[in-house]
Chains A and B, each alone.
Chain A
Amino acid sequence: SQQGEEDPQALSIQEGENATMNCSYKTSINNLQWYRQNSGRGLVHLILIRSNEREKHSGRLRVTLDTSKKSSSLLITASRAADTASYFCATETTGANNLFFGTGTRLTVIP
């Protein structure tokens, strides 16, 4: 499978703490995207980072990409209870015609 794998599978933190989740993938990519899914809902796009970029920020989100290690990380700073959700990475691999999604990290932020 070409899908990415998130680590950890589940993460539980206190409100106000930072949350870091990681994504590893297997083949060369053109870009990598992160999505959030609240329970019972569809996925919502968070951020896209291209293969020639190393870091991007969006509000409380910081994404890094290390193509030499085939890995990405998503950092959520000053977490809130509303950040409780599953987070997925998705890779657009070179030569493929669709995104490949990982299995997700389940984040629980305790108020």
Chain B
Amino acid sequence: DAGITQSPRHKVTETGTPVTLRCHQTENHRYMYWYRQDPGHGLRLIHYSYGVKDTDKGEVSDGYSVSRSKTEDFLLTLESATSSQTSVYFCAITTGLAGYTDTQYFGPGTRLTVL
């Protein structure tokens, strides 16, 4: 998994509660990504980061925020979780300097259930 860990691996929460997912990498790569995977939709980009404190929105960013205060950590926050955010969340990195044009390496995923 290219030194990528995600925590927690599984979480069940209730509608309206805040949730933060953590992605940690050990090799100081510049680009980090958060995706969600849902049946029938494949993977969809939520947010990505191209450096410390440098982030941008992806295809499905509504209801999500991110922060990157250190190179190794990229946090995804659901400010007020909704049932539509029940999904499997994957973090990814690219090892080169060209960002998304390079091969992406994925973490093991976090399964989030919002009741």
B64 at the interface (CB under 8 A from A): no
A40 cross-chain contacts in B, Cβ below 8 A? 109
Q: Give chain A residues whose Cβ lies under 8 Å from the Cβ of B109.
A: 40-42
- Which residues of A lie under 8 Å from residue B100 when comparing CB positions? 92, 97-99
Query: Secondary structure at chain A's binding surface: helix, strand, loop or mixed?
Result: strand
Count of residues in A whose CB is under 8 Å from the partner chain: 23
Neighbouring A residues of B92 by C-beta, 8 Å: 42-43
Contact A98 B108, beta carbon cutoff 8 Å: no
Contact with B along A78-106 (1 / 0, CB 8 A): 00000000001010100001111111100
Cα–Cα, bound, A82→B97 (Å): 33
List the 4 shortest-distance A-B pairs measured between CB atoms, nearest first.
A42-B106, A101-B43, A101-B42, A103-B42
**A residues in contact (CB < 8 Å) with B:** 3, 30-31, 33, 35, 40-45, 48, 88, 90, 92, 97-104
Q: Using A42-B109, A43-B104, A45-B105 as known contacts, list a sample of 15 further A-B pairs with CB atoms less than 8 Å apart, ordered by residue number in A.
A: A30-B101, A31-B101, A42-B4, A42-B92, A42-B108, A43-B90, A88-B43, A90-B104, A97-B56, A97-B100, A98-B33, A98-B45, A98-B58, A101-B35, A102-B42
